[in-house]
Amino acid sequence: MENSSATIHQQEGMLSYEDFRNEVLKDYRVMLESRETSLLGRREVLTGKAKFGIFGDGKEMAQVAMAKFFRPGDWRSGYYRDQTFIFASGIATVQQFFAQLYADPDSNHEPFSSGRQMSSHFTSPNFDTRGKTLPLIQQKNVATDMAPTAAQMPRSLGLALASKLFRNSPVLKDQTDLSDNGNEVCFCTIGDASTSEGHFWETVNAAGVLQVPLAIFIWDDGYGISVPKKYQTTKGSISAALKGFQKRNDTNGIDIYTVKGWDYAGMCEVFEAGLDKIRQTHIPAVFHVEEITQPQGHSTSGSHERYKDAERLQWERDWDCIKKMKEWILENNIATEDELEVIEEGAKEIVKQSRSRAWEEYVNPIKEEVSKAVDVIRSTIVNDIERYNELQKIAKGLEMNRDVLRRDIMHALSLAIHAAGKAAFADDLINYYNEQKKYYKSVYNSYLYNQGASSAMRVEATEPVFANDAPAINGYEIINRYFDQLFAHNKQVVAFGEDVGFIGDVNQGFAGLQEKHGEYRVFDTGIRELTIMGQGIGLALRGLRPIAEIQYLDYLVYGLQPLTDDVATLQYRTKGVQHCPLIVRSRGHRLEGIWHSGSPMGMIINSLRGMHVCVPRNMVQAAAMYNTILKSNDPAIIIECLNGYRLKEKLPSNLLEITVALGVPEILKEGDDITIVSYGSTLRIIQDAANRLEQHQISCEIIDVQTLLPFDIHHSILESLKKTNRIVFVDEDVPGGAAAYMFNKVMEEQGGYRWLDVAPRTITAKPHRPAYGSDGDYFSKPNAEDIFETIMEMMNE
């Protein structure tokens, strides 16, 4: 191939030559610093100072070109190869990069994850400490990075969709702190091999339909780890495979650009024109950046010499973007060899100093903690020479450990406590050990959930108020009236999903609301649960309050990955820096058949730790849960009862004020003989069984847990068990699912086993999916007879 790099032509009224020259040399310096960071970073891993490294070498030129057009208000949604872009945009420093590589837990040193994420995982704050949205239009924004391939794609759609809503929704025109008339672009990056994932194709298709300002940059280095792209992509080219998506004058679709990763001037020219068009027209685009190299291979886990032949390796050396950048600068007489050598040496020195400072800042606190632990161990007084010698040996071993980690400190302290035995003067040692456990818990185990002022856990319960003449209406009418009032009251709320817009959802919860509140507030989507979740994530990150609907709970599996990997982990992996106040609305439990009667609550609660899981039994309770979550910046899934929409409920007069305190169960019926714990649709079957049991003089206490995450934070179920000494957990999940989770919480965590007179029970659905029809439901899910017979058996033990 020929080095046919374009020439940059200065336009009149643009940069002066000196400014242009300085800009080019600044880009060259950033490229060099990033490359040196990759080289030294790999060395730190291979010498044992860091655990794992994955770097962006080979992509430096494309990323400095791309960064030129990244403006305040824009969002980046990328992956772990984007360090050069981050450096060029001023979002992170080289020193912060190394702090993350070392897993420094000090947020002053590593502000993106406090050492919780591996290298090249970045973020930016979107809410202040009071829970108020920051002026996102004034900063360069980053959706928090994660490692799963193509996982950034769904939320990128939502980040871009927000610009469309800000531009077109009349009620959002005054949100000038969040958007400049929808001119913000989402810069999404992805590796070429990851375009094989379904996430990519679903996102591209949805973007082409929606026409949103999404710029997708595909870094194509020819491989997916060791697998060449001929095994990855039809025609061996993602831009060729996407040709059918190309927008025409009379169609929607996307624009497609191809550039070379070693052509600085060519990329600057194409990126500038393409991104400007995206801002103006909201037509999404793919920038296929070909002929990228990967000088060090995929990661520190291995060498690319294992799978690239000599010819390929030589090509990568010849077409390395830094080599080509230097050649281009010299050919265009922008700088001399001597001037470039000064820049090159300066870049190496900057990176070397940054690495050293990051290491010192990481290791010095550990040394101080070691010193303190050694002093505490040595000063422990025992009346036994053997125990004394053992303590001194433990202290010396810790002190002499050259590669000491905090786990070594805790191990030494634990050994010392055991060695000291029951010595009268070991209290200082034990107290210090417990203090350190508490401290390290705050360092490594905090912020699974929001711990700030905007936490949903701070919302107290407000009971519904009913007028004397309050009508009893269908459940779907309750929730419909609630949503109507909500949209009139809170202009940042939007709702969307399959059949949500025009027909108002399949159960009529949004009936008439699109016509009343507008198509940019209540709208339909395609059948694409993954990107419905992505839309919600992106909108929430940008300061809106999305309600993203999964039509049936059984279909949540399609959209689960972005919830479990992105939303549920966001507070933890940023240590509270970034928030995603997404509400997922769904409906589940009993209806008809294998894929419309699901209650996979065990899957949900075990994959969504970090989200609230709300399980209302009726629509008034559901409305209260929406209010609770909307008063916070927390994400939640609210699962309405499928068979509850046509049950009559009294209409409260304070629909917008009612709230539920999360993690606080409600006693629906007091009793003395047995405690029955459940939630959702099953509670009505339990009530039927309880009525029959009353005829046998068995008094049941029925408890609705209300939320599964969090669960019974005040241990009120335990208080009931202390009274009844018998307990049964009932739900519609499979055996070992949510009923087992509730069992664990009460029996083990709350110590409920101490108060039992008989063995506790769980009553669940069968292990298989529910059969179709009323009899299929009866024999597949818990029924009143199951509950009655189980409790009679318990009472007779």
- Would 20-98+119-335 and 456-650 be classified into the same CATH topology? yes
Is the CB of residue 115 less than 8 Å from the CB of residue 100?
yes
User: Can you give the pLDDT at residue 648?
Assistant: 97
Backbone angles phi, psi at 702, to 5 degrees: -105, 125
Phi-psi region of 268 (alpha: psi -120 to 50; beta: other; left: phi over 0): alpha
* Residue 575 token pair: 């240590």
pLDDT band at 307 (very low <50, low <70, confident <90, very high): confident
pLDDT band at 749 (very low <50, low <70, confident <90, very high): very high
Q: Whose CA is closest to 214, among 159, 149, 269, 134?
A: 159
Question: Cβ of 18: how many Cβ atoms within 10 Å?
Answer: 8
Q: Where are the domains of the chain?
A: 20-98+119-335, 364-444, 456-650, 666-795
User: Can you give the pLDDT at residue 163?
Assistant: 98
Q: Whose CA is closest to 371, among 338, 404, 349?
A: 404
pLDDT in tens, 46-89: 999 999 988 999 999 999 999 999 999 999 999 999 999 999 99
Distance, CA of 639 to CA of 637 (rounded, Å): 6
Is the CB of residue 329 less than 8 Å from the CB of residue 340?
yes
CA distances, 57 to each of 14, 36, 296 (Å): 31, 9, 7
Q: Is the dihedral of CA 177, 182, 183, 185 positive or negative?
A: positive
Mean pLDDT confidence for 379-383: 89
User: Can you give the pLDDT at residue 597?
Assistant: 80
pLDDT in tens, 475-499: 999 999 999 999 999 999 999 999 9
Residue 510 burial by Cβ neighbours in a 10 Å radius (0-12, 13-18, 19+): buried
Distance, CA of 510 to CA of 521 (rounded, Å): 11
- Integer-rounded Cα radius of gyration of the chain: 30
pLDDT band at 305 (very low <50, low <70, confident <90, very high): confident
- CATH fit for domain 20-98+119-335, picks 3.40.50.1820, 3.40.50.970, 3.90.1010.10, 3.40.50.300: 3.40.50.970
Percent of the chain whose predicted confidence (pLDDT) is above 70: 98
Mean pLDDT confidence for 167-190: 98
Mean pLDDT confidence for 143-161: 97
**Which has the minimum average pLDDT: 4-18, 120-134, 153-167, 420-434?**
4-18
| Residue 7 reports pLDDT greater than 60 | no
First vs last C-alpha separation in the chain: 84
Mean pLDDT confidence for 129-146: 97
Residue 642 burial by Cβ neighbours in a 10 Å radius (0-12, 13-18, 19+): buried
Distance, CA of 403 to CA of 324 (rounded, Å): 41
Q: Is the dihedral of CA 584, 589, 592, 596 positive or negative?
A: positive
State the amino acid at position 439 in one-letter form.
Y
Distance, CA of 75 to CA of 442 (rounded, Å): 30
Residue 92 burial by Cβ neighbours in a 10 Å radius (0-12, 13-18, 19+): buried
Q: What is the mean pLDDT of the chain?
A: 95
| Residue 5 reports pLDDT greater than 60 | no
* Residue 181 token pair: 């008339």
User: Can you give the pLDDT at residue 223?
Assistant: 87
pLDDT band at 426 (very low <50, low <70, confident <90, very high): confident
- The DSSP result for 19-70, as a single string, is HHHHHHHHHHHHHHHHHHHHHHHHHHHHTTSSS-----TT-HHHHHHHHTT-
User: Can you give the pLDDT at residue 755?
Assistant: 98
Please state the length of the chain: 797
Is the CB of residue 549 less than 8 Å from the CB of residue 500?
yes
Is the CB of residue 682 less than 8 Å from the CB of residue 730?
yes
| H or E element at residue 547 | strand 545-549
Cα 98 to the chain's mean position, in Å? 23
Mean pLDDT confidence for 667-687: 97
Q: Whose CA is closest to 184, among 89, 291, 115, 279?
A: 279
CA distances, 333 to each of 318, 329, 363, 396 (Å): 21, 6, 45, 62
**Which has the minimum average pLDDT: 48-62, 218-232, 297-311, 317-331?**
297-311
Residue 7 burial by Cβ neighbours in a 10 Å radius (0-12, 13-18, 19+): exposed
| Residue 303 reports pLDDT greater than 90 | no
Residues forming a β-bridge with 188 = 77, 216
What is the CATH architecture assignment of 666-795? 3-Layer(aba) Sandwich (3.40)
Q: Is the dihedral of CA 650, 651, 657, 660 positive or negative?
A: positive
Residue 443 burial by Cβ neighbours in a 10 Å radius (0-12, 13-18, 19+): middle
Q: Which residue has the higher pLDDT, 480 or 294?
A: 480
Mean pLDDT confidence for 626-650: 96
722 contacts: CB under 8 Å, gap ≥ 6: 755
* Residue 374 token pair: 């050694």
Q: Are strands 727-730 and 707-709 parallel, antiparallel or unpaired?
A: unpaired
Q: Which residue has the higher pLDDT, 652 or 298?
A: 652
Residues forming a β-bridge with 703 = 667, 677
| Residue 359 reports pLDDT greater than 80 | yes
Mean pLDDT confidence for 688-707: 98
Whole-prediction pTM? 0.95
Distance, CA of 585 to CA of 536 (rounded, Å): 11
**Which has the minimum average pLDDT: 289-303, 304-318, 384-398?**
289-303
Distance, CA of 29 to CA of 348 (rounded, Å): 10
Give the number of C-alpha atoms closer than 13 A to the C-alpha of residue 777, restricted to the C-beta side: 17
Mean pLDDT confidence for 353-374: 97
User: Can you give the pLDDT at residue 714?
Assistant: 98
Q: Which residue has the higher pLDDT, 371 or 6?
A: 371
Could you say which DSSP state residue 145 is in?
P
* Residue 312 token pair: 């390929």
- The DSSP result for 476-544, as a single string, is HHHHHHHHHHHHHH-TTEEEEETT-SSS--TTSTTTTHHHHH-TTTEEE--S-HHHHHHHHHHHHHTT-
User: Can you give the pLDDT at residue 421?
Assistant: 87
Mean pLDDT confidence for 615-642: 97
| Residue 659 reports pLDDT greater than 90 | yes
Mean pLDDT confidence for 392-419: 95
Please give the order of strands across the beta sheet that includes 186-191: 141-142, 75-77, 186-191, 214-219, 285-290, 255-260
| Residue 1 reports pLDDT greater than 50 | no
Mean pLDDT confidence for 492-516: 97
Instruction: Name the H helices within 631-744.
Output: 682-694, 716-724, 738-744
Instruction: Name the H helices within 631-772.
Output: 682-694, 716-724, 738-744
What is the CATH architecture assignment of 456-650? 3-Layer(aba) Sandwich (3.40)
* Residue 689 token pair: 């069984």
| Residue 10 reports pLDDT greater than 70 | no
Distance, CA of 515 to CA of 546 (rounded, Å): 18
User: Can you give the pLDDT at residue 259?
Assistant: 98
pLDDT band at 14 (very low <50, low <70, confident <90, very high): low
Q: Are strands 227-228 and 223-224 parallel, antiparallel or unpaired?
A: antiparallel
Residue keyed to tokens 């940008």 = 542
Is the CB of residue 746 less than 8 Å from the CB of residue 721?
yes
pLDDT band at 167 (very low <50, low <70, confident <90, very high): very high
Could you say which DSSP state residue 195 is in?
G
